[in-house]
């Protein structure tokens, strides 16, 4: 049995009536998702700016200490060893002498030297051959 034309018209009116009472679907990128994305971009930008400010202040303080002839450089004893790669994925290690490495007393590397806090934690220098 085939429903009459009146049936489809009533169904359409029912769908049309309920769709007008519902809110409009989310389109166009406005709303909560866009706010979260904007907040994320702001937080990342602020972190980059803060890191740049801290690096600049660290550099200015270091330059000030150099101009006042204060001791800004330090030394750390570093053990050097060679990693010699052999056949069959084997590695032979050869230890060399201990060398003195110059470091700088700051938070970040400056003047081509590592910071002393970093150099003190990395006292072994591996040289791959």
Residue 9 has pLDDT above 90, yes or no: no
Q: What is the pLDDT of residues 114-125, one digit of tens each?
A: 999 998 898 888
* pLDDT score recorded for residue 21: 55
Q: Does the reported pTM lie above 0.85? A: no
- Has residue 30 got a pLDDT over 60? no
Cβ-defined contacts of 95-100 (< 8 Å, 24+)? 99/125, 100/75, 100/76
What phi and psi values does residue 38 have, to the nearest 5 degrees?
A: -65, -40
- Which helix or strand (DSSP H or E) is residue 120 part of? helix 116-121
Tell me the CA distances in angstroms from 91 to 33, 68, 80, 98, 129, one per residue in order: 52, 49, 16, 21, 10
């Amino acid at each position: 049995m085939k429903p009459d034309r009146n049936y489809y018209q009533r169904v359409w009116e029912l769908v049309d009536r309920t769709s007008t009472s519902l809110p409009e679907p989310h389109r166009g990128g406005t709303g909560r998702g866009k706010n979260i994305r904007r907040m994320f971009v702001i937080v990342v930008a602020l972190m980059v700016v803060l890191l740049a400010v801290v690096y600049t202040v660290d550099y200015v303080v270091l330059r000030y200490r150099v101009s006042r002839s204060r001791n800004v450089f330090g030394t750390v004893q570093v053990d050097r060893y060679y990693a010699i790669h052999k056949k069959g994925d084997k590695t032979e290690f050869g230890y060399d002498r201990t060398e003195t490495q110059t470091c700088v007393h700051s938070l970040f590397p400056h003047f081509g030297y590592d910071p002393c806090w970093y150099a003190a934690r990395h006292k072994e220098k591996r040289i791959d051959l």
